[in-house]
Amino acid sequence: MDNQLASNTTTRVIAQDFDYSAPASLAEALSIRNEYGEDVRPLAGGTDLLIELKADLREEGHLMSLDGVDELNHITDADDDLVIGATVTFDQLIESPLVNDWFPSLSEAASDAGGVQVEKMGTVGGNLCNASPAASSAPPLLNLDARVTLQSEDGERTVPLDEFFTGPKQTLLESDELLTEVRVPKTRFDGWAHEEVKRVTEDLAKAIVSVVVQRDGDVITDCRIGLGCVAPVPMRASNAEAVLNGETFSDDVLARAGATAREEISPISDSRSTSEYRRLITETKIEDLLTEAWDRA
Ligand SMILES: Cc1cc2nc3c(=O)[nH]c(=O)nc-3n(C[C@H](O)[C@H](O)[C@H](O)COP(=O)(O)OP(=O)(O)OC[C@H]3O[C@@H](n4cnc5c(N)ncnc54)[C@H](O)[C@@H]3O)c2cc1C
What does the pLDDT look like over 95-153, one tens digit per residue? 999 999 999 999 999 999 989 999 999 999 999 999 999 999 999 999 999 999 999 99
- Ligand 1 centre and the CA of 278: distance in Å? 23
Query: So what's the pLDDT on residue 4?
Result: 46
**Ligand 1, atom 49, residue with closest C-alpha:** 130
- Ligand 1 centre and the CA of 267: distance in Å? 22
Q: Do 70-185 and 191-296 come out as alike in CATH topology?
A: no
Look at residue 280 and give its three-state secondary structure.
helix
Q: Which residue has the higher pLDDT, 4 or 262?
A: 262
In this prediction, residue 200 has a pLDDT band, given cuts at 50, 70 and 90, of confident
198 lines ligand 1 (CB under 6 A): no
Q: Rounded to an integer, what distance in angstroms lies between the CA atom of residue 155 and that of residue 174?
A: 12
191-296 CATH pick, 3.30.70.920, 3.30.390.50, 1.10.357.10, 3.40.50.360: 3.30.390.50
In this prediction, residue 6 has a pLDDT band, given cuts at 50, 70 and 90, of very low
Query: So what's the pLDDT on residue 202?
Result: 82
Q: Which pTM was predicted?
A: 0.95
116 lines ligand 1 (CB under 6 A): no
Contact present, 57 and 8 (Cβ < 8 Å) = no
One-letter amino acid at 107 equals S
**Ligand 1, atom 18, residue with closest C-alpha:** 127
**19-65 in CATH: which number?**
3.30.43.10
Which atom of ligand 1 is found nearest the CA of 114?
A: 5
Instruction: Give every CB contact of residue 92 below 8 A, 6+ residues apart in sequence.
Output: 73, 75
70-185 CATH pick, 1.20.200.10, 3.30.465.10, 3.50.50.60, 3.20.20.70: 3.30.465.10
118 lines ligand 1 (CB under 6 A): yes
Query: So what's the pLDDT on residue 5?
Result: 43
Ordered by start, the domain boundaries in the chain are 19-65, 70-185, 191-296
269 Ramachandran zone, left/alpha/beta (phi>0; psi -120 to 50): beta
89 lines ligand 1 (CB under 6 A): no
